[in-house]
Amino acid sequence: MKMSIVLRGDLKMSCGKAAAQAAHAAVECTLKALKGKWREWAEEWLAEGQKKVVLAAGSLEELEELRRRAEAAGLPAEIIQDAGLTELPPGTVTALCVGPAPDNLVDSVTGRLKLYR
């Protein structure tokens, strides 16, 4: 079981901003999974140590395509929009979370992406 968090590389967020957006994404997807039809996956993921990977997308369009693919595959997915209190304008889409779900299903959506740096 794992979760992929995909951050927009084109935004050039500071390390702190990227970490905060990744955290928002992880929390939102976890809550969605626990409250929805993915509860069993979420509980297994929590019991296994909450494996996560943080990846990069090159654009908003790529992030939205990944979300569509995740939802079509029946996976929990959440898009994160920034509140605009620090570095970015309000409503800027910063991140996508996919999972928690079985590794192979998450990888079918995000497996070709590179690590966020």
Residue 116 lies in a domain: no
Q: For residues 73 and 54, is the Cβ–Cβ distance under 8 A? A: no
Residue 115 lies in a domain: no
What residues make up the domain containing 59?
Answer: 2-110
- Distances from the Cα of 104 to the Cαs of 29, 72, 108, 110, in angstroms? 18, 15, 6, 10
Q: Is the pTM for the entire model greater than 0.75?
A: yes
CATH number where 78 lies: 3.40.1490.10
**Angle separating helix axes 103-110 and 60-72, nearest 10 degrees:** 140
Look at the chain and report how many structural domains it folds into.
1
Q: Which of 57, 44, 59 is nearest to 2 (CA)?
A: 44
Instruction: Give the C-alpha separation, 116 to 55, whole Å.
Output: 4
pLDDT tens, the chain, 117 aa long: 999 999 999 999 999 999 999 999 999 999 999 999 999 999 999 999 999 999 999 999 999 999 999 999 999 999 999 999 999 999 999 999 999 999 999 999 999 999 999
